[in-house]
Amino acid sequence: MTRLDAQAARSRLAGLPGWTLDGDLIQRTYAFADFVHAMRFVDAVAAEAERVQHHPDILVRYSKVTLSLSTHDVGGLSPKDFDFAAAADRLSAPAR
């Protein structure tokens, strides 16, 4: 796995509305109707993370869930982070 340079990261980020670049990670906060819906999303994200063996940092604040992604093995962002971000966006749709 190769670390993406800043230009490649910004280019990939353009295809992920709602995600922001913060140094060596990308981050997005999802808002749900309530805590139960937020936790359903977290459960779906956890299952996907195990399936692809790429684990985000997850912060839950009642009905809001923030995901932070970075590839520790490369010391920054890799294609895996952007692929997982797109998967998380797909998972968020039915949980809302």
SS3 letters across 40-66: HHHHHHHHHHHHHCCCCEEEEECCEEE
Q: Residue 94 has what pLDDT?
A: 64
Instruction: Using alpha carbons, list the distances in angstroms from residue 31 to 12, 48, 65, 94.
Output: 23, 19, 7, 13
Pick the CATH number of 6-95 from 3.30.429.10, 3.30.465.10, 3.30.1360.20, 3.40.470.10: 3.30.1360.20
| Confidence band, pLDDT 50/70/90 cuts, at residue 93 | confident
**Global confidence as pTM:** 0.93
Q: Is the pLDDT at 81 greater than 50, yes or no?
A: yes
Sequence letter at residue 36: V
Nearest residue to 47 via CA among 5, 87, 96: 87
**For a pLDDT cut of 90, what percent of the chain falls above it?**
94
The mean per-residue pLDDT over the stretch 14-29 comes to 96
Q: Residue 96 has what pLDDT?
A: 45
Q: Is the pLDDT at 95 greater than 60, yes or no?
A: no
30-47 pLDDT per residue, tens: 999 999 999 999 999 999
Q: Which residue has the tokens 């932070």?
A: 68
Q: Residue 57 has what pLDDT?
A: 97
